[in-house]
Amino acid sequence: MTSAKANTNSNALSCIYCAGRRPFTRWSHEHIWPRRLGGTRSPEIFRTHQVCQTCNSLAGTWVEPPFYKNWFMQIDAAISGLRYLPRDMPGSTALMYQGFDDAVPVADDEVCERWGGPSQEIIFHIHKRDEPRWETLPGGDFLRRNTKDQGRVYFFLTSPEEYWSLTTIKSIIDHFPLAHRRCLTLLEGLARSVPILWRDDPSISEHDARDVAWLLEHGLEPRRIRMAFNTAFADRFLAKLAIGLGHTILGPRVSSSAYADRLRNLLWNSTPGQHADSELRGTGFWRSEGQSDFRDPLAIEGAWTIAVGAFYPAFGYSLSTSSGRSMSMMVSDDPGLWTPGVVEQYHEMQIFIVVPQRQLFLGPYRVIDFVSHRLGRRLIAALAELEDSRVGLQDLPPRRLPGQSEARGSF
């Protein structure tokens, strides 16, 4: 949301993300934790109005999507998404990104990307070739995809279970809402009311006819997929989150500290990861896969965990993705700048649990209460409800993946 807010004092304040380095346009409502990751109903500390419209827009294009659309996160979302499917009716879940399929003959100004469905359905997305800077973002230039050039999507279903076929089709419609979509599998009895074209529907263009003919003959042949990804995809996002939480929790003096300037450099660095700031890393910017001290008792499988707290004399946060990937960042190293009372309030970590697929944002929970819940000693009702509503593969119709008579078991 970028609704402008008139503020008579606005000239006296500067944007927390650029500290006035950008020409001031208007204030905007910024979700420090992105809506796409479940931030629609986040508590106040995850929102601010003190961000200029330019930064808000830049963050929505070059900071947040590279984080949550990244290949690593797509895999996370696809795996955890299965846990939140409804038991008794087809649902919608994230697709798994696989990369570019250069063997598919497309026009000179087009590319073909491949995605996987929840029971290994094979999905081809042919769209216009974007500028190279979009190459590491699955789906390419989403601004362009959202307006025109949505592209053409073709897919093969794999499961004879209507539950999985319809879940795949719903997921494809959600993922490619504006594309021309066609199912290449002939299935008897599947409800044909869904808004897609079927294999035997007439072609809508010359491109379409050519794609269908080629994919029916070669689409399922095994071949190499090309993938490009940015390993420093998290840097800017982690910096943005640290600046935002520093401002909303610790107060304005933190936003104007030298450390906040370092965070801003990381946020707007043209090549994140290339110019590692030793001060940032040395004082708490680390990426630990499976090594975070407090990850295990805190992570909830299939959900994001945000832990915010004062680790005197520093203040920081830790983030666990839905698959347990862990990241952390220091927000401030100078308690002298913090709003009075923060240490008392945050001397224990505050825990938030986020499930993007359900737009669920729970917390804050005191770490002691959270751990009691995890140990089964004293349940937190909202968390218990979330855990009860998750499914395992054994709760859903069998997927019957290719080469298997039946795919059951746990995730």
Q: Would you say 73 and 61 are in contact if contact means Cβ atoms under 8 Å apart? A: no
One-letter amino acid at 165 equals: S
Give the interface segment with Zn ion, choosing from 8-16, 85-93, 147-155, 398-406 (CB under 5 A). Answer: 8-16
- Binding-site size for Zn ion (CB under 5 A) equals 6
Nearest distance in Å: CB 242, Zn ion: 16
The torsion region of residue 273 among left (phi > 0), alpha (psi -120 to 50) and beta comes to left
Is 85 an interacting residue with respect to Zn ion (CB under 5 A)? no
Quick one: which of 33, 37, 53, 55 contacts Zn ion (CB under 5 A)?
Answer: 55
Judged by CB, which is closer to Zn ion: 263, or 327? Answer: 263
Q: With DSSP H G I counted as helix, E B as strand and the rest as coil, what are the percentages for the chain, rounded to 5?
A: 35, 20, 45
Residue among 55 and 79 whose Cβ is closer to Zn ion: 55
Q: Closer CB to Zn ion, residue 30 or residue 135?
A: 30
**Total residue length of the chain:** 411
**CA-to-CA distance for 39 and 42, rounded, in angstroms?**
5
Report the helix count and the strand count for the chain, using DSSP H and E. 14, 14
- Write out the binding residues for Zn ion, residues 281-340 only, by CB under 5 A: none
Q: Does residue 52 contact residue 61 with C-beta atoms inside 8 Å?
A: no
**What is the C-alpha separation between 249 and 46, in angstroms, rounded?**
9
Side chain identity, residue 152: R
CB nearer to Zn ion: give 30 or 113.
30
Q: Which is nearer to Zn ion, 59 or 386 (CB)?
A: 59
Judged by CB under 5 A, the chain residues 362 through 401 that form the site for Zn ion are none
- The nearest distance, CB 131 to Zn ion, in angstroms, is 24
Residue nearest to Zn ion according to CB distances in the complex: 15
Spatial CA neighbour of 370 closest among 384, 358, 359:
384
Please answer whether residues 198 and 185 qualify as being in contact, where contact means their C-beta atoms are separated by less than 8 angstroms: no
- Pairing status of strand 197-198 against strand 180-183: parallel
Query: At its nearest, how many Å lie between Zn ion and the CB of residue 57?
Result: 10
* Candidate list 15, 79, 234, 331; residue touching Zn ion; CB under 5 A: 15
Report the 10 Å Cβ neighbour count for 85: 22
CB of 268 closer than 8 Å to CB of 277: no
Q: Alpha-carbon distance 105 to 86, whole Å? A: 38
**Alpha-carbon gap, residue 250 to 245, rounded angstroms:** 7
Closer residue to Zn ion in complex, CB, 15/260: 15
In the complex, the smallest distance separating the C-beta of residue 16 from Zn ion, rounded to whole angstroms, is 8
Q: Minimum distance from CB of 2 to Zn ion (Å)?
A: 12
Q: How far apart are CA 121 and CA 116, in angstroms?
A: 5
63 in contact with Zn ion (CB under 5 A): no
Residue from 18, 329, 330, 331 that binds Zn ion (CB under 5 A)? 18
How far lies 62's CA from each of 17, 104, 117, in Å? 13, 29, 27
**Residues in 25-54 that interact with Zn ion by CB under 5 A:** 52
Considering beta carbons, is residue 18 or 179 the nearer one to Zn ion? 18
Min CB(51)–Zn ion separation in Å: 6
Q: Which stretch binds Zn ion (CB under 5 A): 9-17, 97-105, 217-225, 309-317?
A: 9-17
Of 22, 47, 207, 210, which lies in the binding site for Zn ion, with binding defined by CB under 5 A?
A: 22
Residues 207-246, interacting with Zn ion (CB under 5 A): none
What are the tokens at 215? 């994919």
Nearer to Zn ion, 52 or 250 (CB): 52
Compute the least distance from the CB of residue 7 to Zn ion, in Å: 14
Cα pseudo-dihedral 19, 23, 27, 28, rounded to 10: -90
Q: Residue 251 Cβ, how far from Zn ion at the closest point, in Å?
A: 19
**Residue 254 binding Zn ion, by CB under 5 A:** no
**Footprint on this chain of Zn ion (rule: CB under 5 A):** 15, 17-18, 22, 52, 55
